[in-house]
Structure 1
Amino acid sequence: MITIRTRYYRIDPKVPNLTHIQEAAEILRKGGVVAFPTETVYGLGADGLNPEAVAKIFKAKGRPADNPLIMHVAQQKEIDLLAREIPPLAERMMELFWPGPLTLILPKSRCVPDIVTAGLDTVAVRMPAHPIALAFLKAARVPVAAPSANLSGRPSPTIGTHVLKDLAGKIDAVVDGGKTSVGLESTVLDLTSDPPVILRPGGVTLEQLQEVLGQVVLDPAIRGEYLIDGLVPRAPGMKYAHYAPRAKVFLVEGEPWQVALKMKELVEQHKAEGKRVGIICTEEMLFLCREMVPQPDHYETLGPGEDLGEVASRLYSALRNCDRYHLDVVFAQTFPENGIGVAIMNRLRKAASHRVIKA
């Protein structure tokens, strides 16, 4: 296997080094693959109009070829190149939510390679709200196809070192702009359906979209309401297991005190079997679990339970740390499904392969 020399650029988002950004953009324009920060997670970018460059993304990630990618742009006018039709509703969404964590599904133009859309007749597009991402996209001067910058199926990266852990030696460059702010991928909204359908929940919530659009539908796959094996993915992340550490993850559902008691029982059972056990929980749940005997091998706290934005921003790092501590099994509490809680639970269900224990 050929190892690529991965260049590393550390850039301060408050004072971006334009020379480094230009160098990274030049690598991409020449057919290379470059990881870059967005406000959601780190993306793994290639020239979206160059099928050979896009193929390198799939190879580096080990990503299935039937999983479509998102096209990233720096300016709204670039959408004219990618979509054969831009309905007034799409223009309204761009006006209100771009730049930001909202991806729109539109009818694709002929210039978008099939490898980007997995052969679908639609294309996913977004404009990220991150100063380094926007500067990089402007310098690239091409639409950039980019999924998350991790090995396929693993937790998405929210810091540059996550990218290096997964992809050093497999990609051409990493632009490290520090920690991402949202911490979960963008919301994917299909505007080719009537009413519009959320295919993936993310940083823009159902409630925010309903305020503008009125009726908006959540795709049943988001809550695992039907088996999705054999489906053709309509957006990134719909079909395959994602976000999972090597440990087996279980969700524990119920009232807080019930969850704490159930976790105590589960930790005792698995420790007796010689397994290394972890818990992912809020600060409040950690307080309830302090007297647990025996104690788990590791806790990952997600911040206060009432701050779901903080929970979202910490989630992927917590899942990645399960591998760092060599855990065999992990128990995670569940969260209310309102606001960004819908996206949090979507990611947790996928990380747990829909394994839920009722407390």
Structure 2
Amino acid sequence: MKTKIFKPSEVGAAAQLINEGQLVAFPTETVYGLGADATNVAAVKQVYVAKGRPSDNPLIVHVADLETVERFAQPLPEAAKKLVKAFWPGPLTMIFKLKPGALAPEVTGGLNTAAFRNPDNAATLALIKQAQTPIVGPSANTSGKPSPTTAQHVLHDLDGKIAGILDDGATKVGVESTVLDLSTDTPAILRPGAVTASAIEEVIGMPVQTEQHHVGATEVPKAPGMKYKHYAPDAQVYIVDRTEDWPAALTWAAQQKVPMGVMATDSVLTNNALPANCEQFSLGTGIQSATQELFAGLRHFDTETNIKDILCQSFDNKGLGAAYMNRLNKSAGQTHFSV
């Protein structure tokens, strides 16, 4: 199979492939998703095959409007309607109880709930509307690897495995959407993202649980990213927790006598002399650019260099930093540089 690249002006051809049961990767404001008709069981099964994804890892359903969600979900809570008005289209995924038999178990991981999102990307919204069906969309990468933020990242992982890629350039947010569970009495964030707990609480006027439940080996996760290894490059990532730790971290890097990667903001890179064996990747000026560039940096060192170890900058675990640190900790396997 030859994977075709589509421009946004060619969205009709991409939608035709979806209707034929083919897989087409699509852009969102967060990362690129791997799309298939959510009502076509055979197509959904191929998503798991193409990614090498565990079959009990549920998929997010991407929709063009709230009415589509209401076709599948039980009556939505008032909080959901407020959040739709505030954050859709945007990087907020919400989990709802389903009407019996509304979606195939291949989509839901066998659960009676499903996650829905209305992505903030004009080309993808046009894709969903022209295909006239909701589209599943896990990240369009090999399962466990850093998520793709460009069409080229998708092509690297899935070339020849999927029919097409709708290319709309680099994504803006850089990490996956916030996943909010609204299927229980207390709303709970199962995966942090650009829409923060405080922003959600302000809209719905009630507290949101943020402590993530540990998913056991035999338990089916309600949302992606809760159970299996995620976002990990081939290289070992070491998190540098404090600005004052960088001189010691770089001294240690110099002693390794092998090529090392350094991912940090411009201020860290400017204020510290990098050893000759270190290659830098800029995370920009702060948490917003760092979140946008995190996966791109991990992929850069994974696919374009022979680097086996990466030092990466930490941020405060609050606001957008909670989303960044969630992905970075998983990428590093919770490994921190210690002085």
CA contact (8 A) 1:279 1:296 kept: no
Q: Deviations over 1:143-167 (max 9, x none)?
A: 1011011111111111111111111
Aligned match of 1:300:
281
| The one of 307, 319, 327 aligned to 1:347 | 327
1:267 corresponds to which of 253, 256, 264: 253
Once the two structures are TM-superposed, the CA of residue 79 in structure 1 deviates from its matched residue by 0.7
Give the aligned residue type for 1:283: D
Q: Take 2:255 and 2:71, find their aligned partners in 1: how far apart are those partners? A: 58
Partner SS state of residue 256, structure 2? helix
CA RMSD, 1 decimal:
1.5
Tell me by how many angstroms 1:269 deviates: 3.0
Which residue among 89, 95, 102 is the counterpart of 1:99? 89
- Residue 14 of structure 1 is matched in structure 2 by none
**Alpha-carbon distance in 2 for matches of 1:35, 1:240:** 22
Q: 1:184 aligns with which of 159, 167, 175?
A: 175
User: Once superposed, which parts of structure 1, at least 4 consecutive aligned residues long, lie more than 4 Å away?
Assistant: 226-231
Query: Are the structure 2 counterparts of residues 241 and 139 from structure 1 closer, same or farther at C-alpha, using a change threshold of 3 Å?
Result: same
Q: For 2:79 and 2:155, locate their aligned partners in 1 and report how far apart those are by CA, in whole Å.
A: 39
Residues 1:330 and 2:310 are matched in the alignment: yes
Q: After superposition, give the CA deviation of every residue in 1:123-177 in whole Å (9 maximum; x if it has no partner).
A: 0001011110111110010110110111111111111111111111000111101
Give yes or no for contact 1:54–1:116 (8 Å, CA) kept in 2. Answer: yes
- Aligned to 2:43, the other structure's residue is in SS state helix
Kindly indicate whether the alpha-carbon contact (under 8 Å) linking 1:46 and 1:53 is maintained by their aligned counterparts in 2. yes
Q: Which amino acid aligns with 1:278?
A: G
Give the C-alpha shift of residue 325 in structure 1.
1.3
Find the aligned partners of 1:219 and 1:190 in 2 and give their Cα distance. Answer: 12
Give the secondary-structure state (helix, strand or coil) at the position aligned to 1:45: strand
1:1-359 matched pairs, under 5 angstroms: 4-11=1-8, 17=9, 20-109=10-99, 110-213=101-204, 214-220=206-212, 229-254=217-242, 256-257=243-244, 259-271=245-257, 275-290=258-273, 292=274, 294-305=275-286, 308-323=287-302, 324-359=304-339
Distance 1:6 1:121, change over 3 A: same
> Residue type matched to 2:270 in 1?
F
Seq. identity, %: 41
Q: Bigger shift: 202-211 or 152-161? A: 202-211
TM-score in terms of structure 2 length:
0.95
Are the aligned partners of 2:188 and 2:209 in contact in 1 as well (CA < 8 Å)? yes
Matches of 2:277 and 2:82 in 1, distance apart?
49
Structure 2, unmatched stretches of 5+, are: none
How many angstroms does 1:228 deviate by?
Answer: 5.6
Q: Is the 8 A contact 1:284 1:304 kept in 2?
A: yes
Distance 1:227 1:115, change over 3 A: closer
**Alpha-carbon deviation of 1:357?**
2.6
Deviation string 1:6-63 (CA, Å, 9 cap, x unpaired) is 121123xxxxx1xx11111010011000001011111101010111100110000111
Assess, with a 3 A threshold, how the Cα gap between structure 1 residues 322 and 211 changes in structure 2: closer, same or farther: same
The one-letter amino acid paired with 1:8 is: I
Deviates more, 1:107-116 or 1:207-216: 207-216
Equivalent residue of 1:106, what SS?
strand
Contact persistence 1:260–1:288 (CA under 8 A): no
SS at match of 1:220: coil
Distance 1:278 1:230, change over 3 A: farther
Change over 3 Å in CA distance of 1:34–1:338 after alignment to 2: same
User: How far 1:288 sits from its partner (Å)?
Assistant: 2.7
Which whole-Å CA distance do the structure 2 matches of 1:85 and 1:48 have between them?
20
Contact kept, 8 Å, 1:153 with 1:243, in 2: the verdict is yes
CA contact (8 A) 2:109 2:220 kept: no
TM-score (norm 1): 0.90
Count of aligned positions: 336
Contact 1:137 1:143 in 2 (8 A): yes
Relative to structure 1, is the Cα distance of residues 227 and 173 closer, same or farther in structure 2, using a 3 angstrom cutoff?
closer
